[in-house]
Amino acid sequence: MPRTRRTEARSQGRQPSTPAPTTGERPNPGYYATHALDRAFKANLARFTAGITPAGLASVYFEWLAHLMLSPGKQMELGEKFLRKTTRFAQYAGRAARDPQCPTCIEPLSQDRRFSDEAWQRWPYNLIHQSFLLTQQWWHNATTDVDGLSPERERVVNFIARQMLDRYSPSNSPWLNPEITATTLATGGRNLYDGWQNFLEDWERAMAGRPPVGVEGFRVGENLGVTPGKVVYRNRLIELIQYEPATKQVYAEPVLIMPAWIMKYYILDLAPDKSLVEYLVNQGHTVFMISWRNPGSEERDLGMEEYRRLGPMAALDAVCAITGRDKVHGVGYCLGGTLLSIVAAAMARDDDQRLASVTTFATQVDFTEAGELTLFIGESQVAYLENMMWDQGYLDGYQMAGAFQILRSNDLIWSRIVHDYLLGRRRPMNELMAWNADLTRMPFRMHSEYLRKLFLNNDLASGRYQVDNRPVAVQDIRAPIFAVGTTADHVAPWKSAYKIHLLTDADEVTFLLTNGGHNAGIVSEPGHPRRRFKVRTQRAREPFIDPDSWEQSTPEQEGSWWPTWQRWLVERSSGLVDPPGMGNRTYPPIADAPGSYVLEP
């Protein structure tokens, strides 16, 4: 395949911003003091705004309003839509008064389950929720297709409007939600009392920095992350876990898994029968796992290069030395997959051929279409986050969790308020929820470099990202690639992950799309109900298939995708051998899995 393939698609990244010119004069004596005051003020403000800059949101809102005021045609269109929706609603109200079973005038989106209860179809709740949905639709029209507003700014203002509407949805109101009203009457208000107690308990735990209710029943090393293994290597950033073999013989090439440092590794070793590690070991693979340290203020100056060098590169040296093999299957999840792509590109550039294959889970390499997460990533937002991280030396897990919750506010915020506080019912804790509550941090320097080099400048996809002071290109990767995307991913949208087809000249790229979200779609063990996926391999010199055509033409399969990927690994392995020892003289076992880093708060 020619190396110039799809270069046009790779050249779409933004150019790095140039520094502002200076006058050559020495700064005023008060310059540093005033800038320190600005940073301190914004750092403290960020704690009350979940790390989201008010200035950035305000600028987007006023830009939208200005363009709308300069668009009389759009205003006329919105006025016409308002009249038509009002007429449609009045007609529906008349029909519903005669026939409560008549068709509604608007249906909620498929993922909107707020009004699924049958009680919403009875008067007056049918009129209440239909009016809200029509209003929601009108605001969508008002914040899209405004002449002069860029697509990026349009997405932000549309997102803000959705958040405001979700906040004031009738489903969140105890006197407008029929489920809450019926429960209150049936229990004599006991649900509100129980909900108040739930709120107080959650508030107390949050203020004390304690985990949510129910997490106490899940402990790493007891019922989470329990696949037997040994820590065989440790440095200031990682522990490397080698898992004990479960078969008499194993496939020759070991598997090295690099989870994201934004998460604790044991999501891939969640619990017995829900563990990807356990599944691979039982199928005859030698598995190694990187367990990242949870950084504090003292690690504030660790950057992307330290994460590459002390993480996968150090782990790769250890894996090859312990197993005696010169080929390893590399696996990366989320940010770990992005780092694996950087590592694989640098290794290809330097003719380091130790990667037998590259597998990425829910991973982006090109960040130009990174979904709703990009709503929080602009120059204003990054500078605001840098002020907050500069003050404390890291980005706190609670601040990251707040941003992710806002992306799915209906599912993660408002539905919880309704269920736990207004209906007074605790949702039972499960393994994935317990893992999600085990928060992590990211060092100031690393996260700043990640946001600027990858999100803002898109350096990796554009061939500008540097390793050892030389640029690397994903195009250089020749090892077979297996990329997994998930249909409901708000962090790494599958169409963004699919762009790996445009960025590499590997001999083959296998892309698998599974249902579920960023986490639940990956933790998809055999036997998991309602799981399905699509998979297809594109080989060298075959024409590119756009993601929509790929989705329509690729047949769907039922069940977990794990066996499909495992067979793919087997086909790219060189046969069965005796299992390697647990560590060796150079890398002796240090401790039992799960190690100590994963237990650090």
Catalytic residues: 334
> How far apart, in whole angstroms, are the C-alpha atoms of residue 569 and residue 562?
11
Q: Which helix (H) or strand (E) holds 256?
A: strand 255-258
Q: Are 460 and 341 in contact (CB under 8 A)?
A: yes
What 3-state DSSP class applies to 486? Answer: strand
Torsion of CA 333, 339, 343, 348, to 10 degrees: 80
> How far apart, in whole angstroms, are the C-alpha atoms of residue 311 and residue 303?
12
CA 445 to chain centre: 20
Nearest to 475 by CA among 485, 497, 460: 460
Structure tokens at 490: 């708000």
CB-based contacts of 135: which residues, under 8 Å, 6+ apart? 165
CA 159 to chain centre: 17
| Residues 429, 432, 438, 441, CA torsion sign | negative
Per-residue buried b or exposed e for 283-297, using 16+ beta carbons within 10 Å of the residue's own CB: bbbbbbbbbbbbbee
Phi, psi for residue 303 in degrees, rounded to 5: -110, -175
What 3-state DSSP class applies to 102? Answer: coil
CA 124 to chain centre: 39
Radius of gyration for the alpha carbons in the chain, expressed in angstroms and rounded: 26
Q: Which helix (H) or strand (E) holds 360?
A: strand 355-361
